[in-house]
Amino acid sequence: MPAADEQQDNYKKMVQEVDRFVDFIEKAAKSKLKDISGFNRMCICGMGGSALSGDIIVDATLTSWEVPVQVIRATNIPNWFDKDTLVVASSYSGNTKETLMMYDQAQAKGCQVVVITSGGELKEKCLRDGNKIMEVPTNMQPRSTAGHMIGYLANIVESSGGPRLKKEIMKLMPALRKFRGSIWMRNKGSLAKQIAGNIHGTVPAIYSTGLLSAAAVRWKNQINENSKMIAFNGVIPEMNHNEIVGWSECVQRSKVKPVFLCEHETTDTERSMLDESIDIMTSAGLDPEIVTIWGSTVLERSLKAVMLGDYVSLFLAEMNNVDPMSVAPIVKFKQRLAALLSRKKADKPKADKPKADKHKADRPKADKPKKKKKKKG
């Protein structure tokens, strides 16, 4: 197949996967899962899109659940992991090195472990160890499985006695499908296409208030991978303590496009911080892109923001004439990492067995204590 035809074919496939994001969430949330209990904190261990799904759940439960939920992106788990920690090891391929390492460590510490994967070594380990597994379909781009993973995580939270995220997702389906129709690729008046046109040719910097921080990360990631563009993200109020200086005084700032994801429903304090940040950038001669996200709950606003960002990234891919499915640098990095770890494992010196002591026989024997003779009385 000619390169141009393959690129067009891949573009259509990616559009189909993005179109089905809502359907994937619904299917995963509907799946049956036995109640999970016996933990006082929940940690999602993963990388990339697998971890991003955890970020969505962190935002959705931050103000509604007394159980702390955290995402770990690392090769080592924190020392405080123990038998009271629920660990969700999430890797689409099942072969993500970092996730496999965290899985082994969590298993060794006696944590309660649940796995989300499509197969690979992670599935093998999970079946061997008798842990719960939630399977994701194969033959998809890893970042396109976010819907499945969000649905499964919502399922886990509700099955654990937490906020009823599964029920909320079912209730949100009509609104999410209606929103999808308004930003759809074939919709000529698509908001996503308008935003893409405004940020095309720039370096987008995506900012949000705290409870949309996961969505801002998703925008950045999708623009990186689908659109083949450099993009960054930040969060308010943190950016007001450092980045605002660069935006105000850096001579290269005109090359970067600030994009603000604004919740239509937020606290007065956060709204004031957001407004002031935008005013400072406008005063510095910048033209921020303001995107208002509507919804009655944190989860609804997060999911709508994710959906909008996904379509923006596809319109940008079309404008840049690039293949949204190709992620050659990521594949190359994983191959090099696997080869490096294999070499290190092969080169690891084996512990020498203690050699027999040749001079053992020459050592003087310790004198045994002499027995005292009993006197005849």
Q: Which residues are catalytic?
A: 225, 241, 334
Q: Which helix (H) or strand (E) holds 256?
A: strand 256-263
CB contact at 8 A, 37 and 134: no
350: alpha, beta or left, given left = phi > 0 and alpha = psi -120 to 50? Answer: beta
Q: Where are the alpha helices (DSSP H) in 184-238?
A: 191-199, 213-225
Residue type (1 letter), 164: R
Residue 103 vs residues 24, 57, 97, 109, 160: alpha-carbon distances, Å: 25, 20, 10, 10, 20
Angle of the 146-159 helix axis to the 298-320 helix axis, nearest 10:
170
CB contact at 8 A, 129 and 122: no
Which two structure tokens, joined as six digits, stand for 61?
A: 């439960």
Q: Give the Cα separation of 215 and 308 in Å (integer).
A: 10
Q: Which helix (H) or strand (E) holds 135?
A: strand 132-135
Radius of gyration of the chain (CA): 27
